[in-house]
Structure 1
Amino acid sequence: MSELTFDHVTVRYGASTVLDEVSLTVPDGEIVGLVGESGSGKSTLAKAVVGLAPVHGGQILLDGAPILQRGRMRGRHRPVSMVFQDPFSSLDPRMTVGESIAEALYRPRTERLSRAGRRAEITRLLELVHLDGGRAAQLPGQLSGGQRQRVALARALAGRPRLVIADEITSALDVSVQGAVLNLVREMQRELGLSMLFISHNLAVVRYVASQVAVLEGGRIVEHGPTVDVLGRPQHDYTRQLLAAIPGGRPTQTTKETRA
């Protein structure tokens, strides 16, 4: 995995500045949480990484080198993968689970996967996210929301990314299955050394998975540091307001492994 750096990144839509000189680093092998209210610019920052939002100032670097060339990723090996909020729309309903994952598989230009090799890699990826390999033959409509989000994670890992961006990946799920997905994220971070920018409006969720937290207000980062400090001893009034607006407690069913 690798280090992602936002260096004074500015994004505008017309006369509206959505992100104003945002600087943030996602260190190698860590999960950094990005929190803020709706409209604060969280998803825009994620989209800027993968070329879906225009960068008008500053730059986005991966291990010190610009991540985007001509506004889009090049080649089959995408250094950054993104998992979106809605597991019901992020997968093509006409494609089987296996076909969706196969479409994203990383294959060096000099190597061609055999049919058996492709099936084996799809099975490995499904098992990595705690799904049976037999799910490869199913359509997304045959899966629960939690299972679809697991498939989305498997698909994100299929391209062998160096970093994953998770944009509100639990907010569309029932509370009863959020914990299972969060446990999976923590497990992947431990076992794969996964680097991740984890975006959420839910501070309890971020507290559970992230080692660092950045707080975004009106397109600017107003507080950033270790999770225990930012959420335990907030220094900025906006952070205190976010904490005050959320009932105390932790994400549901995160202390035990659950299956969704």
Structure 2
Amino acid sequence: MSLHLDHVTVRYGATTVLDEVSLTVPDGEIVGLVGESGSGKSTLAKAVVGLAPVHSGSIVLDGQPLRHRGRRRPIQMVFQDPFSSLDPRMTIGESIAEAIPERLSRADRRAEIARLLELVHLDAGRADQLPRQLSGGQRQRVALARALAGRPRLVIADEVTSALDVSVQGAVLNLIREMQRELGLSMLFISHNLAVVRYVASQVAVLEGGRIVEHGATTDVLERPQHDYTRQLLAAVPGGHPIPNKEIRA
């Protein structure tokens, strides 16, 4: 399902955080959004899910205005810190079950939880565990399973690997690519890490000071940047640029 932002502006008082941002996430594709801290990336994500006030412009999903009310929401968000996004008092199964929109029998609900855990490569037995009993990478997989439980038409992933050890980042990225291929997910993937964005995204938009300064096919933007800000981001990548496009190992 395609998402389209048309000249979206977000203001807090006299401060403009997003300034007439236009961006499209095509059906079945992953679009990367990159920029430094404070560039407005998370504000854009919050505007899409209804957590930030849109001063002007429009946000539509498949040509229809987004509705944020109701139990079943067409867009789900996965946050940076998987521990804070899960209730520490609820088991993994309870957290996932809370996001399942339909009223199912206990047996059907447990079967759906098991299916979702297996989808993110976790054993169904994890359903009875608490978040503190899981590693950071496992908790992020649970957060993905919880987002998918709502059967969204689009997922927003906001810095989902930045809080993880480097040793487990690759496994989560491989999982995201696998889910996109198998489920045909549309995703807005937000990150400050250009190597990560290149690995998962077919398109990338560069956000500076609340404005998109460059947008195009990921390979074109990262190998032949046209804007000075994009060049600065690339220059800050360890090892310089261009960023190698190679398989990230789990």
User: Can you list the C-alpha shifts for 1:38-73, whole angstroms capped at 9, x where unaligned?
Assistant: 0000000000011110000001100011113xxxx2
Matched, 1:132 2:127: no
| 2:120 counterpart letter in structure 1 | V
Render the CA deviation track for 1:159-195: whole Å, top value 9, x for unaligned.
0000000000000000110000000000000000010
1:13-54 Cα offsets, whole Å, 9 max, x none, are 111000000000000000000000000000000000111100
Deviation digits for residues 179-229 of structure 1, max 9, x if unmatched?
000000000000000100000000000000000000000000000000000
> Is the 8 Å Cα contact of residues 182 and 254 (structure 1) preserved in structure 2?
no
Cα distance in 2 for residues equivalent to 1:250 and 1:146: 24
Q: Find the residue that maps to 2:178 and give its secondary structure.
A: helix
Cα distance between partner residues in 2 of 1:237 and 1:46: 24
Cα distance change, pair 226–243 in 1 and its aligned pair in 2 (3 A): same
Aligned CA-pair RMSD: 1.2
Number of the residue aligned with 1:94: 89
**For the residues of structure 2 that align with 1:7 and 1:104, how far apart are their CA atoms?**
29
Note if 1:165 corresponds to 2:164: no
TM-score with structure 1 length normalisation? Answer: 0.93
> Under a length normalisation based on structure 2, what TM-score does the superposition of the two structures give?
0.97
User: Alignment length, in residue pairs?
Assistant: 247
Superposition deviation, residue 74 in structure 1: 2.1
C-alpha distance in 2 between matches for 1:185 and 1:29:
13
- 1:29-108 to 2 correspondences below 5 Å: 29-68=28-67, 73-107=68-102
Which of 224, 227, 230 aligns to 2:218? It is 227
User: Does the 8 A contact of 1:41 with 1:219 survive in 2?
Assistant: yes
| Unpaired stretches in structure 1, ≥5 consecutive residues | none
Q: Which runs of 4+ in 1 moved over 6 A?
A: none
Which residue is equivalent to 2:133? 142
Q: SS in structure 2 opposite 1:231? A: helix
Taking the aligned partners of 2:82 and 2:72, their CA distance within structure 1 comes to 23
Q: Distance in 2 between matches of 1:65 and 1:16?
A: 29
Give the percent of matched residue pairs that are identical in Structure 1 and Structure 2. Answer: 85
AA aligned opposite 1:56: H
Task: Report deviation, 1:247.
Answer: 1.3
